[in-house]
Structure 1
Amino acid sequence: MLLHIPSVLTPEALTDIRSALTDATWTDGRETVGALGAQVKRNQQLPDASPVRAELARIVLAALARNSMFFSAALPLKTLTPRFNRYTGHGEYGFHVDGAVMRNGEDAHLRSDVSCTLFLNEPESYEGGELVISDTYGEHVVKLPAGDMILYPSSSLHKVEPVTEGARLASFFWVQSMVRDDARRRMLFEMDGAIEALRGSDADSTAILQLTGIYHNLLRQWAET
């Protein structure tokens, strides 16, 4: 499932994050990938041990905790501590697939079911930098407003186009979902959305209750916790 989640971050949070990133110390993004990824990756990242990264990650995680669409779509069991990157000077990241298992701290790991990119500056402030996600329906080109996020299966082939002018700032992270199968997550997300829409209408309350029961029974059957 490819999903655009708008307004994850408030304008105030975006201002704080961009201000912190202006004076941050960046490192070569190739330090966090394997040999194959390093051949096609040219960007900068905040070091994992950076205090700035830790503080900004807390802001992002707090925003995600308040976002009902993110929870409904990802059904998160574990979320990797958000990372931050910068593309400038023709920086790019060629086609690749994210690793299946991610290290989250010294001893913890998570399975990457859902990939997330949270855009931190406005699309008109840089040229290029589109996220291109390839699936059975073709290639999807994504370049979102600041504060918006794209969520997509971690099994997807994807790339970031070269940034030819300005700088592209983003936060990125992975989620291990309670429901590992993408098709089942999509069905649950669509059912949850339909139930919420019915609750806001004059629909029969008994039917809504029955649908809610079906949703939770499916989640109970499919969830891994």
Structure 2
Amino acid sequence: MIVPIGGVLDPDRLSRIRALLSEARFEDGRRTAGWHAREAKRNEQAAADDPRAREAAAMVSAALLANAVFRAAALPRRLRPVLLARYRCVAEGSPAYDLHVDDALMGMSDPSGPTRADVSVTVFLADPGTYEGGELVLDSPGGEAAYKLGAGDAIAYPATTLHRVAPVTAGERLVAVTWAQSLVRDPAAREVLFDLAAARIAVHAREGAGETFHRIARSYANLLRMWAET
């Protein structure tokens, strides 16, 4: 299930994040790539120990966890620290991230244990008209699908997906990325629950808390009880 999510970051928060990142220290993005992805990754990431980057990352995490659509789609149990990535077109070549799949387990050395990456998330921070290329391209049985969303919008998709970032040929692509471990491991089950959650809201808005609403609400609760890992 691929879920575009509009307006995760409001204009004030987005402006503050951009201001912080304009002064943050960036380093080679390959430092955080798995061994098999290092050759594919050509970008920069805000240094994890930079206080401005930490503030910006915390703002993105808080906005995601407060967003009802993200919570319904990902059912997050844990969220990895946000990475802030910059793809800046320079004379030496176009930055990009070639085809890869995200690591299944992240934070292997964390004291609390690793995080299973179930859902990948990209939050777009730059206006799409300010850079050329840089689409997030997701592979699927039906072919590739490219996404280049508005500033402050996000996209969530199964972390099992092969994907790439198309070369940035002009301007600067700025994004925040993270991964969620879901309460529901199976992506097909998460999709069923997402549809039921949407149906529950729609029926309640149209009819109130009547019989149909209660049957949908019960089905949602009982399926979540059946599938959730706590």
With normalisation by structure 2, the TM-score equals 0.94
Distance in 2 (CA, whole Å) between partners of 1:204 and 1:49 is 49
User: In the TM superposition, what are the counterparts of 1:103-182 in structure 2 within 5 Å?
Assistant: 103=107, 106-108=110-112, 109-182=114-187
Q: Which residue of 1 aligns with 2:103?
A: 99
* SS of structure 1 residue aligned to 2:56: helix
Q: 2 CA distance for matches of 1:120 and 1:105?
A: 29
Single out whichever of 143-152 and 104-113 deviates more from structure 2.
104-113
Deviation track 1:92-140 (CA, whole Å, cap 9, x = no partner) reads 0000000000118742420000000000011000011000000122211
* Structure 2, unaligned runs of 5 or more: none
> 1:209 and 1:35, CA in 2 relative to 1: closer, same or farther beyond 3 A?
same
Which residue of the other structure, out of 202, 225, 229, is the alignment partner of 1:220? Answer: 225
Note closer, same or farther for the CA distance 1:204–1:49 as it changes in structure 2 (3 Å cut): closer
Compute the displacement of 1:23 (Å): 1.2
Deviations 1:178-201 (Å, cap 9, x if unpaired)?
Answer: 001100000000010001000001
Deviation at 1:53, TM superposition (A): 2.3
Letter in 2 for 1:12: D
The 5 Å alignment of 1:175-190 reads 175-190=180-195
| Equivalent of residue 210 in structure 1, options 211, 215, 221 | 215
Deviates more, 1:73-82 or 1:41-50: 41-50
User: Could you list the runs of 4 or more consecutive aligned residues of structure 1 that deviate by over 3 angstroms after TM superposition?
Assistant: none
Q: Distance in 2 between matches of 1:170 and 1:9?
A: 12
Q: For residue 37 of structure 1, what is the aligned residue in structure 2?
A: 37
Separation in 1 of the partners of 2:171 and 2:203?
45
Which residue identity does 2:106 align to in structure 1?
Answer: M
Q: Distance in 2 between matches of 1:46 and 1:85?
A: 6
Task: Summarize deviations over 1:27-78 as a string: whole Å, max 9, x none.
Answer: 0000111232111110000122222222112211221232111100000000
Any conservation in 2 of the 1:80–1:104 contact (CA below 8 Å)? no
Tell me the amino acid that sits aligned with residue 162 of structure 2.
L
Paired position in structure 1 for 2:69: 69
Contact 1:132–1:139 (Cα < 8 Å) also in 2: yes
After alignment, is 199-208 or 177-186 more displaced? Answer: 199-208
Q: Distance in 2 between matches of 1:70 and 1:204?
A: 24
> In the alignment, residue 100 of structure 1 is paired with which amino acid?
A
Tell me the C-alpha RMSD between the 2 structures: 1.3
1:101 aligned partner, one-letter code: L
Number of residue pairs matched?
225
Tell me the secondary structure at the aligned position of residue 175 of structure 1: strand
Matched, 1:80 2:77: no
Structure 1: unaligned runs, 5 residues or longer: none
CA shift at 1:3, angstroms?
A: 0.6
- Residues 134 and 140, structure 1, Cα contact 8 Å, conserved in 2: yes
Give the C-alpha shift of residue 203 in structure 1. Answer: 6.2
The yes-or-no answer on 1:16 pairing with 2:16 is yes
| Structure 1 residue identity aligned to 2:40 | V
Q: Any idea what SS the aligned residue of 1:39 has?
A: coil
**What's the TM-score, normalizing by structure 1?**
0.96
